[in-house]
Amino acid sequence: MQERPPRHSRAGRAFTGIGLAVTLLALVFTGGTAGYMLVEGWSVWDAFYMTVITVTTVGYREIHPMSRAGEVFTAALVIVGVGTALYTFTQALTIVVEGGWRARMAARRILRMIDELDHHFIVCGFGRIGRVIAEEFRQQGISFVVLDRDPDLVRRVTDAGMLGVEGDASRQDVLERVHITRARGLVAAVGTDAENVYAILTARELAPHLFIVGRAESEDSQRKLLRAGADRVISPYQIGGKQMAQTALRPAVVDFVKLATAAGSLELAMEQVKVSGGSSLAGRSIIEANLRQRFSVIVVGIQRSGGRIEFNPPPDAVMQAGDDIVVLGRPSSLKGLEQAAGAEAPPS
């Protein structure tokens, strides 16, 4: 775990650049005002006004006749003040030219958007797998934020218009920063199995009811991730090998499944729809709810609230509150089914 730099070093870096320039310029104006008040005995406003026209070299006349001591002080103020003003202007121009100001504004905008996250996914890692996951979420319009320790990868995330945070996904403060208690789920797709285990352990401790998907490279790692608290564990290499075998044996079936699960498909989509407690579907069978005629969907399966899955359920299968219905149909039809599954039934 990487240690944080000492506080004094961070403060020293902050007290540089434009911050230091503005501070020096303020000291010049304060010193010039106080100097004219002491040397010439002028009022605060007269002393300040004389300091301003001297430092900015606008060329106005002196507001009062000055003594020899006042002239010497003015000469010193011109040398120090003009140099400080040029330094401040140079620092400000550098920020504008190099895009520092724009980057700061973009960072603040990202922080505001992260603070507004709710019912979102947390993607840990932006490697080869993490990029595919993030792109899939974006295509489906899912709210998510990416966590990665590599600042270059986080910059790629933000440059692509997605939300990204630099940090270790196994640290409690980092997960709290992306509001894990309000999240819908977490995907642990960091580079190594050990990092995924630590990320899942921390996430499960902070959010006991969070849905967590972990990436594993071996069967032994799959067992460890499940014991750490993952709800599902995926091995990309195992799934990739099986899909290649299925493509060689049953290409038409693979093409059909790809069409049904592809994001943004206008022809066909497979979706899971949760039945809420007060909806008109709760407590009714598939044939009573008339799903096929009302929504033009095919019920592929029902996952009961206890976790049991019923594939190709019969027409008299009763849908209960908390069940997930896996259906196949057009995206427009699925939206109507989702509304019916979540809407309360009218009073009889």
DSSP one-letter string for 333-346: HHHHHHHHHHSBPP
pLDDT value, residue 260: 67
- Strands 211-215, 144-148: parallel, antiparallel or unpaired by DSSP? unpaired
- Tell me how far apart the alpha carbons of residues 81 and 259 are, in angstroms, rounded to a whole number: 70
Mean pLDDT of 299-322: 89
Contacts 24+ apart (CB under 8 A), 117-120: 117/143, 117/145, 117/163, 117/178, 117/179, 117/182, 117/183, 118/143, 118/179, 118/182, 119/143, 119/182, 119/183, 119/184, 120/144, 120/145, 120/179, 120/182, 120/183, 120/184
pLDDT value, residue 10: 41
Boundaries of every domain in the chain: 7-98, 118-239, 252-342
| Superfamily per CATH, domain 118-239 | NAD(P)-binding Rossmann-like Domain (3.40.50.720)
- Note if the pTM is more than 0.75: no
Least confident window among 14-18, 166-170, 231-235, 322-326: 14-18
pLDDT in tens, 18-44: 788 888 889 999 999 999 999 999 999
- Tell me how far apart the alpha carbons of residues 260 and 150 are, in angstroms, rounded to a whole number: 35
pLDDT value, residue 20: 85
Does the structure show a pLDDT above 60 at 15? no
HSE at residue 206, side-chain half, CA atoms within 13 A, is 24
CATH for 252-342 (3.30.70.1450, 3.30.1330.40, 3.30.750.24, 3.40.190.10): 3.30.70.1450
If 0-12 CB within 10 Å is exposed, 13-18 middle and 19+ buried, where does residue 336 land?
A: middle
Q: Which amino acid does the sequence have at 90?
A: T
Nearest to 271 by CA among 179, 140, 166, 168: 140
325: alpha, beta or left? (left if phi > 0; alpha if psi -120 to 50) = beta
Task: Spell out the CATH class of 7-98.
Answer: mainly alpha
